[in-house]
């Protein structure tokens, strides 16, 4: 049975070299590596209605990384001379991983900025994790940011994605981050056909009411992600598109980042071209950063809709 992407985009995204109508497919070189992502594992404390990576309390398709594995890739960064300044952690829920604090400390102690994506709920609020975050903030606070997934500024819409009561639990976690002085950002979603100005005004009101030092007008602090709907037909990106769209391949996420994962049953982690496409084997580049330096063919609907046409970025 075909998945939704195949049904919506029949005949497209089949050949990494050419598009369905025979034009040369666009590729993106790793021109300026800035962020190395680590997926800490797909296990999560909740199941969201539209999770692109299908995280849940039972999905361990991507298993927990360890601090030693993270350190190994940081060694490779130095060996390869990548000018990366930021190490970012995503999941699943990163604070489900028992070594999350140790992994963050490993990166911070080497001078990197660290970004951790979280739902700010129970895993983050465990006493051991709170103590660890407080310690990291005391020692490295100018380089530590937690980006909280707050799908909407209004509880009913956020809860429609993440479950009843999830909004209240998330803002309780954010209240603790505010009180502890840990830098925050927010990631929202554009699911409700709401224009960007309205959405940003709604977040601004929430941040002001709760005293969060987050700029709702700054896309680096309040990210609004377009929905990654595989049932929607999207155009393929050809080499001619860069001039047509007046954009550059250097602006696409895979020009500046890679993501390390560990698949269930694998002996070692591997490196992906993209944080958004974790299960498609054509975006798995090898086990080392050296192997991951090759160019990436934009051969997936997310490449077109989310990154090139949506202008999306996953970094602060």
**Per-residue model confidence as pLDDT tens digits over 69-125:** 999 999 999 999 999 999 999 999 999 999 999 999 999 999 999 999 999 999 999
Residue 314 has pLDDT above 60, yes or no: no
* Secondary structure class of 7 (helix, strand, coil): helix
DSSP code per residue over 241-301: HHHHHT--GGGSGGGTEEEEE-BTT-SS-EEES-SS--S-GGGEEESSTTGGGS-EE--SH
Stretch 11-31: mean pLDDT, rounded?
94
Specify the pTM: 0.93
Q: Which residues contact 295 (CB under 8 A, 6 or more apart)?
A: 27, 28, 29, 30
Q: Please provide the average confidence, as pLDDT, over all residues in the chain.
A: 93
Each domain of the chain, given as residue ranges in start order, spans 28-225+247-294
Q: Which residues contact 168 (CB under 8 A, 6 or more apart)?
A: 155
Residue 7 has pLDDT above 70, yes or no: no
Q: Considering only residues 34 and 4, tell me which one the structure prediction assigns the higher pLDDT.
A: 34
Residue 230 has pLDDT above 70, yes or no: no
Residue 301 corresponds to which tokens in the numbers above?
């609907």
- Give the per-residue pLDDT at 310: 67
- Give the per-residue pLDDT at 311: 47
Alpha-carbon distance of 91 to 53, in angstroms, equals 8
Stretch 140-149: mean pLDDT, rounded?
97
90-104: burial string, b at 16+ Cβ within 10 Å, e else = bbbbbbbbebbbebb
- Give the per-residue pLDDT at 228: 66
Superfamily covering domain 28-225+247-294: Aldolase class I (3.20.20.70)
Closest CA to 103 of 219, 253, 269, 294: 269
- Give the per-residue pLDDT at 245: 87
**Segment 167-220, tens digit of pLDDT:** 999 999 999 999 999 999 999 998 888 999 999 999 999 999 999 999 999 999
Give the CA dihedral 218, 94, 270, 307, nearest 10 degrees.
Answer: -30
- Give the per-residue pLDDT at 225: 86
**Segment 283-312, tens digit of pLDDT:** 999 999 999 999 999 999 888 877 887 644
Sign of CA dihedral 109, 113, 119, 125: positive
- What are the distances in angstroms from CA 73 to CA 41, 80, 100, 148, 255? 16, 10, 16, 25, 18
The owner of tokens 């602090």 is: 221
- Give the per-residue pLDDT at 315: 40
């Amino acid at each position: 049975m075909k998945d939704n992407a195949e049904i919506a985009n029949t005949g497209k995204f089949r050949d990494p070299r050419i598009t369905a109508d025979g034009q040369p497919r666009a590729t993106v070189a790793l021109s300026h590596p800035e962020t190395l992502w680590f997926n800490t594992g797909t296990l999560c404390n909740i199941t969201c209605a539209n999770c692109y990576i299908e995280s849940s309390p039972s999905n361990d398709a991507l298993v927990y990384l360890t601090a030693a594995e993270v350190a190994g890739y940081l060694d490779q960064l130095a060996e390869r001379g990548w000018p990366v300044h930021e190490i970012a952690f995503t999941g699943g829920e990163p604070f489900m991983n028992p070594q999350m604090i140790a992994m963050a400390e490993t990166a911070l102690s080497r001078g990197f900025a660290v970004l951790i994506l979280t739902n700010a709920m129970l895993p983050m609020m465990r006493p051991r994790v709170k103590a660890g975050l407080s310690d990291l903030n005391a020692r490295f606070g100018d380089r530590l940011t937690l980006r909280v997934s707050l799908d909407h500024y209004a509880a009913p819409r956020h809860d429609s994605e993440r479950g009843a009561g999830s909004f209240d639990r998330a803002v309780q976690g954010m209240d603790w981050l505010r009180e502890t002085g840990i830098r925050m950002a927010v990631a929202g979603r554009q699911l409700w056909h709401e224009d960007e100005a309205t959405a940003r005004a709604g977040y601004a009101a929430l941040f002001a009411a709760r005293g969060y030092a987050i700029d709702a007008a700054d896309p680096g602090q309040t990210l609004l992600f377009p929905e990654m709907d595989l049932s929607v037909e999207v155009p393929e990106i050809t080499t001619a598109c860069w001039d047509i769209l007046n954009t550059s391949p250097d602006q696409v996420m895979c020009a500046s980042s890679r993501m390390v994962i560990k698949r269930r049953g694998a002996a070692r982690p591997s490196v992906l071209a993209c944080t958004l496409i974790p299960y498609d084997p054509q975006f798995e580049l090898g086990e080392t950063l050296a192997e991951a330096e090759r160019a990436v063919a934009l051969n997936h609907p997310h490449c077109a809709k989310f990154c090139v046409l949506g202008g999306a970025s996953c970094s602060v």
